[in-house]
Structures are given as structure tokens and as C-alpha cells.
Amino acid sequence: MTSSSPYRRLLASVLVAALAVLAAACGETKNSSSSGSSSQSSSTASSSGAANAEAPIPKGLKTVSIPKQLGNPYEEFEHSGVTEALKELGGSNRIQGSTDAGASSQVPLINSIVQQKPSAIIIAGNDPNAVAPALKQAAQRGIKVVAMDSDVAPDARSVFVNQVTTKLVGENQVESIAKQIGNKGQIAILSATANATNQNAWIKVMKDTLKQPKYKDIKLVKVAYGDDDDQKSFQQTQGLLSAYPNLKGIISPTTVGIAAAARYLSSSKYKGKVELTGLGTPNQMRKFVKDGTVTAFELWDPSKLGYLAGYAAAAIASGQISGKEGESFKAGELGSRKVGKGGEVLLGPPTVFTADNIDEFKF
Ligand code: RAM
């Protein structure tokens, strides 16, 4: 008996590997209802394709969340929100990330996380497509995939937990800078990485919005990329200001970018002359609002975004939802949430921070 078991184990693992290869070869890229799943899909309703809103969330659910990068305060709040949600549900979340937000930095992480067999992966995508094959393989092994903050290719995840509608974020940024520069003059965008799904989606809306007749006197002269790296963002700000001496405003829709740009502006001759707005955390921006470098910027609560994604992951892993439009699930203190078009779950409107309210926010 004992002598035959290593052999049997070997045979079993060869069979499992062969099945996995076969499944991969079939190129199954379906969203959630993994019809042909040969593997261990524990009692989830999604294996039959039908969601059951009443399905209980099993205790001890394990998830892994992957930030865009480690060491970014925004991401830390966001992923601590995932952990909080899982804790409330009697499960646990583990945060695994890389220090750079490069397009492919998350791929080896996903591959190694698959070996841990969590019930779900929650990812803020650095690139929609680079991570897709690895995420699809995870799905084929019964791991549910939730994107949050920055989407991945829609066929590589079940839902995308979006902070605010992409349209509103983009429009608000343009409206805010337009107001600050008196509706006239050159502006630039300081983005994160060139591949980030959320950044590119917001920039597209900004460009479209700028085509409106009321913005005809505003000219977008450059989109620069600071790669969500503080130093690079600082240098890019410096570069923008020397390359475009008539620049009137900068939009930085990244918490890393706006903080670095504000730091540069605050001790430069451009302070109070070149306007800066975008998406920032109140903690990082407080001093620049108080010293007059920045008058208004926006954000949502990143820990609530993670919290919502944690609940969404649990709802999918337990079969309460499958990612189809119209399904709904309970998200703890955030109440009931609906899956919208394209598998999108929304957190809610952003907050505008100014000198009047910034001290009320501690993130
Ligand atoms: C940075 C990241 C993140 C984005 C925020 C606003 O921290 O780029 O993805 O949502 O800024």
C-alpha cells in the first residue's frame, strides 16, 4: 500500500497536468460559468452557470489581492479594504505585489498564486492584456477573478469593481482644470504608466471632453508618464514646465503623480501660477492645499473600493453572482450592490477636496 502510493500520486498529478494542458489547448476564455471545469469547483453554483443569490459564503474563504505596486499609499488603503472585507466574512486575504507597476510585473505573481489555490484573485491591473492569459489559466483551475481599480481584459475576469464611472472621472478632471485656469490656455496630463487601463480610459474621456466647444480655448499639449514612480513623476513635472513655458495647468489622475507634481510646484517659481488638479489622497495632498499649491482635487475612498471588491470576490466564489448584468450581492456596510453592464460594479461618486474639507479625511 505505502509503496504504491507515490506511484499513484505521480500518476494522478500527470493526469491533472494533462487535463490542464487539454483545457488550456481548448482555449476556453469564457467569463465565469466554466462549463467544462474538470477540477475541484467546490459547491459553487457558477459551475452550472446559474447564480444563487442565497448561496452561503463559506467560512475560511481565502483570497489573494494583487496591487498595481507595493509601497503606494493609495494601493495600501485599497488592499487593506479587501482584507477587512474577508475578515468580516470569516475568511482571509493575502496581499502579494511587486514594487514596480510595469505591464508584465504581475504575470509571475499570478502564476505563483495559482499554486496556492485561493478561492479568488482580486487584481488592480497594470495592463489589460499582459495579465490576461495567466488570469484565464487561474480561472480554468477554479479560481475566480475580480478586477478592481484598473480593469483587465473583460474575458479574463468575472467583474470589474470600478471606483466611479470612467466618464465622470474624466469629465470632472477637465471641468476642474478649466475652472482653475479661467477656461483658457495650455494644459498637460501627468499620468502613471502608459499601459494602465484606468489611466488610459480616463485620458480618453478627457480628450473627448476637451473637444466640446466650451473648452475650445484649452489646448492639451502633452501626456507625460511618471510610471507611478515618485522620482520619475517629479522629473516629468519639471520637464513639462521647462518644455512648455506657457503651461497653465496640469491634470495628474494618479495619486503618485499628483503628489510628486505638487511637491515640485510648491518649491518652484510656478507655485500659484501653474494650476494642478487630479486624483490624490488627502493625506498626501494636505500640505500642498494648505500652502496654496493646489486648490482642488478628487478621489474616492480607496479602502472602500477594496472592501467592495472583497465582498464581490466572496459573492462570486460562493456562487451568489456570476458576473452577469442585473445580479446583486450584499457588500457589508456598503449595502446591496448590482452588477452593471460589462460586469461592472460601481463604488460611487468621488469627493472633491479643498482647503475647506481636507482635514475631515484621513486617508
Ligand atoms: C494611483 C494608481 C491607481 C489610481 C490612483 C488614482 O495610485 O495609478 O491605479 O486609481 O492613482
Grid cell for residue 250: 496640469
Q: Pick 166-299's CATH classification: 3.30.420.40, 3.40.50.300, 3.40.50.2300, 3.40.190.10.
A: 3.40.50.2300
**Annotated domain spans of the chain:** 62-163+302-347, 166-299
pLDDT, tens digit, for every residue of 221-255?
Answer: 999 999 999 999 999 999 999 999 999 999 999 99
What is the distance in A from the centroid of ligand 1 to the CA of 338? Answer: 24
Cα–Cα distance, 127 to 200 (Å, whole number) = 10
Q: Which residues pair with 122 in a beta bridge?
A: 65, 146
CA nearest ligand 1 atom 5, residue: 254
pLDDT, tens digit, for every residue of 111-123?
Answer: 999 999 999 999 9
Positions of the chain with pLDDT under 50: 1-48
User: For residue 6, how many other CB atoms are within 10 A of its CB?
Assistant: 9
Q: Which atom of ligand 1 is nearest to 163's Cα?
A: 10
One-character DSSP codes across 173-240: HHHHHHHHTTT-EEEEEEES-TT-HHHHHHHHHHHHHHTSGGGTTEEEEEEEE-TT-HHHHHHHHHHH
Q: Which amino acid is at 302?
A: P
CA nearest ligand 1 atom 7, residue: 255
Q: Do 166-299 and 62-163+302-347 have the same topology in CATH?
A: yes
The domain covering 62-163+302-347 belongs, at the CATH homologous superfamily level, to Response regulator (3.40.50.2300)
Of 70, 164, 256, 300, the residue with max ligand 1 atoms within 8 A of its CB, to mutate for a pocket test, comes to 256
Of 65, 68, 69, the residue with max ligand 1 atoms within 8 A of its CB, to mutate for a pocket test, comes to 68
Residues with CB under 6 A from ligand 1: 68, 72, 74, 124, 149-150, 192, 196, 198, 228, 254-256, 279
Cα–Cα distance, 193 to 130 (Å, whole number) = 14
pLDDT at 50: 81
Grid cell for residue 339: 452588477
pLDDT at 33: 31
User: For residue 313, how many other CB atoms are within 10 A of its CB?
Assistant: 32
* All residues at 6 or more sequence positions from 255 whose CB lies less than 8 Å from its CB, including other chains: 72, 73, 74, 279, 280, 281, 284, 299
